Structure 1
Amino acid sequence: MTNTEEIQLIQTEIGDKAGRGLKWSLVGTLGAKVGSFAMGLVLARLLEPSDYGTFGIATAALAVLMHINDVGLIAAVVQWRGKLEDMAPTAATLAAVFGVVVYGIFYVTAPAYSAFSGEADAVGVVRLLTVVIVIDGLTAVRSAALMREFRQDKMIIANTVGLGFQIVVSIWLAIAGAHAYAFAWGQVAGAVVGGLLTTIFAKVPLRFGYNREIAKKLLKYGFPLAVSLGIEAIVMNVQLAIVGRISGQEQLGFYVLAFNMSMWAQTILGTAIRYVSVAGFSRLSETDDRALAQGVHKYIPMLVSVVAPIIALMSVLATPLVTLLYGGKWSPAGPALMLLVGLTFVRMVTGLAMDALMGAGATRSTLWIYLGWSIALVPALWIATESLGINGAAIAQTGIGLLVGVPLTAIALQRAKVALRPMGPPLVRPLLSTVLAAAVAAVVAHFTGPYPVVQLLAGGTVGLLVYVPLVVPRDQLRRLPSTLLRRGGSAPIPEEA
């Protein structure tokens, strides 16, 4: 067997495992999104925009802390070259200690953070919600063990049950008049239940210990990653503090809703992919540099083909989508949503590329990407928000992502011996088809107004009817009806996805 054949065999084996894991991840994240979406619809009618603003400030803090509190140990465990049982006690100790320490520091500094964000009354909500980082630190190694072995089915069960508790607690407290605390208590309850189930399913002995050499290896990989992910979280969430300070509580509430809606595609597809991509790229990088590069060349165009039309149609149909789902009082979020979905597209593409860098152990590259991204973003975000309000903030986020985030990621891939030229031709057709589909959908929606439901159905349907025949090969379209019948009416998910 030649070296090329061996690489292809390894790619096939890893692809099969990752494909099965991705199927479970897609099912789980889709179900979680449906549940979160339903909860959001109910809470939007029980709470006020100001409550969303307060919770947005707390969520921003949690997002940053969640990325740094385990010092990159989840990814380090997934990528670890060796036996899990040798490293698990040390990793568990490090993750738990850092989780408690980070929470303690932020507990003390929460008043200053809330005051800077223009939400001085948010201190209690911030302190309560960030308890989640302690729970995450205690369960980090167990979550990583499930991801490492592509046991996404167990993760889905744990997350789904946790989400159920979150929904019940949040809605019950919202009805009782708890305002923003309804969000926080619900999320903490869900984290506790999900964490307990994850610990049970992982079957990793609950042991703590410390080995200096193992700790050194884990932190050498994980620390640059934790810093880079922390900067990423700042890049994505500093907007909330700036918008709240400049535009006020109510405008922040509109912006939070728009931002959360813009993340739907990433929440469903991006989260599902990340559950398997780091492990998959790690296994590929263990074999040969060519295997990793071939994986990137294959999966980024595939991701673009799926995500680009979703993002484009959501952009041109943003205002009727907001109005239909949340009511007329939330319509100011529409223009911001139209712009922010572009950032989601950027994050998903660069995120998959950086998963490949993490799989190859190039965590310092991700650090430099996010550092450069944040340096460019913060001043642009402040200036744009002062000039154009929440729409200016959306323009700054998407613009800096395209003009700074994408080029920095491309440079990092080149330095990791992943050539960019082979990805060019496969991207042309889906990108051009996306532009055409979005333009047609916008025209159809304009002439089928003023009812939002009609605009969404007509514009979305016509847009997809334009896109799909241009991108999906004709033989696959011809086989689709028979494939659907064989699978009992459920659409096929390619193994290599």
Structure 2
Amino acid sequence: MEDRQGAETVADAEAGQPGEATSQVGEIGRQAGRGLRWSVLGNLVMKVGSFAMSLVLARLLVPEDFGVYAIALSASQFVIYINDAGIIAATVQWRGKLEDMAPTATVVAIASSTALYGLFWIIAPFFAQMSGSENATWVIRVLTATNLVYGLTAVRSAALLRRFEQDKLTKANLVGFLVNAPVSIVLAANGAGAFSFAWGQLCGAAVTGVLVVAFARVRIGFGLDRATARKLLVFGLPLCVSLGIEGVLLNADSVIVGDALGLTLLGFYLLAFNISSWVPGLVGTAVRYVALPSFSRLAEESRESISAGVQRAVPLLFSIVVPFGVVLGTLAPAVVVFLYGERWAPSAEVLRFLAILMVVRMLTALAVDILAALGATKSTVWLNLGWAVTLVPALMVGARVDGIRGAAIGHAVVAVVVALPLAALALHRAGVVLAPIASALVRPLLGGALAGVVMTLLAHVVDGAPLVQLVVAGGTGLLVFVLVVVPQAVLKQLGGRVTELIPARSR
């Protein structure tokens, strides 16, 4: 399938014209923009709610509970990456009628998720013991059950993404969270420990799944057409392997840190990792909801169209993510202490370096979606495999040399030195023109550097109350970033609109 799609894309590119490519990018961009707005709005509400819930749970639970949950979460997150055998992505980019492949895709997704859940039920005790806590066994078994729901609803979720109906998917996720939060908090208040996370997420996932099936309007049917299944798996399995390796990348640190340093330090590490995941969870998840369908549609048009789309998307994403990374990297102690209290202060040194990882994760995730849209799923395997092979030893050495901070440093160094170059190489080999992107990244890099210097200096000047540091140092640094990165014409235009909104009497 990869070769056939590549040949079709090249043929389209030869027939296309620059003006046509720009028009195609604009039309798909408008559809994606609507989906992105809904995704960002939904993720924003979800993240605010999750943040509020984490504040409550951090006061009801102890670091050891977070450590046990971290072990179960690492198992669940690994499973979710490979849960559907790549069926969601294969459905989104399917070149044909959804109704023709839905019955077969449904059977494959359910069979895959059920088999994986059975496997992890069996190996849960060994995984927990390897991670440093046998108490995590049943938490793993409960939490990984959420993946059964995802398998049942995989094709319906993909249908919503394919049609850019992210609003419906967002509403389903929000209702699921409204179930998850109270269940988790009530259980935690009654001494359920790490199980409070697991049962809350399982209940929320079940409610979300029911709504996704209702919203998708895809007739529930089961069938197995061998030709369709083969096409789905030829595309999906390499991507599934790649995402499985990505799951290792994101969760190997929990296993390694838990085994080497114990549950308490793992709890501190998990808190920092969760904070560093706020932006990928908010912006990154929203982008991934629209990136694969958007770039899949562009890939159907021409290679020139997808290159134009990438040249727009990467600088924009980078400019959005960098200021968040700078704030978390320079003001980590203030962020952690202000939000969670002095008890969690050891997490700050970890967060400084995981902020770097956050930026890289956003860029590589976009690269994976672009490659999947092009049908180059094998390239995603090599990208994530090269990253994982270097990451695991770096984490092991870092944890033993410098504790949880050393593990975070290992994560950051490998991300910058290995992951980014591999992502750029994979996109280049897939035929995406990357050269124009370099000049577009200069201003965000300069703005981030200057903002970091300003924040560091002001943090020392107003040393004391974390809130004051965040407001004075963080606010001034972000202002510096905006002044450097946003073109003056845009700033003047925004200033003019603000002036128009101010009543004449108040001026």
Q: TM-score, structure 1 length as denominator?
A: 0.96
Query: Hey, what does 2:455 align to over in structure 1?
Result: 441
> 1:419 Cα shift?
2.5
**1:161 aligned to 2:161?**
no
Contact 2:18–2:304 under 8 Å retained in 1: no
CA separation in 2, counterparts of 1:486 and 1:17?
A: 30
Q: Give the conservation status (yes or no) of the 8 Å contact 2:83–2:113.
A: yes
- Residues 62-461 of structure 1 aligned to structure 2 (within 5 Å): 62-461=76-475
Structure 1 counterpart of 2:10: none
Q: CA deviation at 1:481?
A: 4.5
One-letter code aligned to 1:298? R
1:473 maps to amino acid: P
Q: Read off the aligned partner of 2:268 and give its amino acid letter.
A: F
CA distance in 2, matches of 1:313, 1:47: 27
C-alpha contact (below 8 Å) 1:369/1:405 kept by paired residues: yes
| 1:485 Cα deviation from its structure 2 partner | 8.6
Alignment partner for residue 41 of structure 2, among 6, 27, 31?
27
Distance in 2 (alpha carbons) for counterparts of 1:220 and 1:11: 28
| Number of the residue aligned with 2:51 | 37
Amino acid of the residue matched to residue 207 of structure 2? V
CA separation in 1, counterparts of 2:89 and 2:343?
Answer: 42
Superposition deviation, residue 4 in structure 1: 2.6
Once the two structures are superposed, what CA deviation does each residue of 1:208-258 show, in whole Å capped at 9, x if it has no partner?
Answer: 111000000000000000000000110110110000000011000000000
Offset, 1:422: 1.1
Give how far 1:482 is off.
Answer: 5.2
- In the TM superposition, residue 473 of structure 1 has moved relative to its aligned partner by 1.1
Asked if structure 1 preserves the Cα contact closer than 8 Å seen for 2:307 and 2:434, the reply is no
> In 2, distance between residues paired with 1:81 and 1:483?
44
Aligned 8 A contact 1:437 1:464 in 2: yes
Measured in 2, the distance between the counterparts of 1:11 and 1:160 equals: 30
Q: Name the SS of the counterpart of 1:280 in structure 2.
A: helix
| 1:199 counterpart letter in structure 2 | V
Question: 1:48-89: per-residue Cα shift (whole Å, max 9, x none)?
Answer: 000000000000001110011101110000010000000000
Contact 1:300 1:353 survives alignment (8 Å): no
CA 2–86 in structure 1, closer or farther in 2 if over 3 Å, else same: closer
Q: Which residue of 1 aligns with 2:9?
A: none
Letter of the structure 2 residue corresponding to residue 396 of structure 1:
G
Q: For residues 346 and 358 of structure 1, what CA distance do their matches in structure 2 show?
A: 18
Distance 1:70 1:331, change over 3 A: same
Conservation of the 8 A alpha-carbon contact between 1:323 and 1:452:
yes
Counterpart AA for 1:374: A
Deviation digits for residues 367-386 of structure 1 (CA, Å, limit 9, x no counterpart): 00011111111111101101
Which whole-Å CA distance do the structure 2 matches of 1:373 and 1:321 have between them?
29
Structure 2 counterpart of 1:70, which letter? D
Cα displacement (A) at 1:8: 2.1
State the 1:445 CA deviation: 1.0
Cα distance in 2, alignment partners of residues 254 and 177 from structure 1:
20
Distance 1:382 1:264, change over 3 A: same
Q: Which residue of 2 aligns with 1:470?
A: 484
Alignment check: 8 A CA contact 2:22 2:308 kept: no
5+ residue gaps in structure 2? Answer: 1-14, 503-507
- Figure out how many residues of one structure are paired with residues of the other and give that number: 488
Task: Provide the residue aligned with 1:48 in structure 2.
Answer: 62
Distance in 2 (CA, whole Å) between partners of 1:420 and 1:287 is 19
Per the normalisation by structure 2, the TM-score is 0.95
Structure 2 residue identity aligned to 1:301: P
2:7 aligned partner = none
Contact 2:36 2:290 in 1 (8 A): yes
Distance verdict in 2 for CA 1:418–1:44, change over 3 Å: same
Seq. identity, %: 48
Change over 3 Å in CA distance of 1:444–1:424 after alignment to 2: same
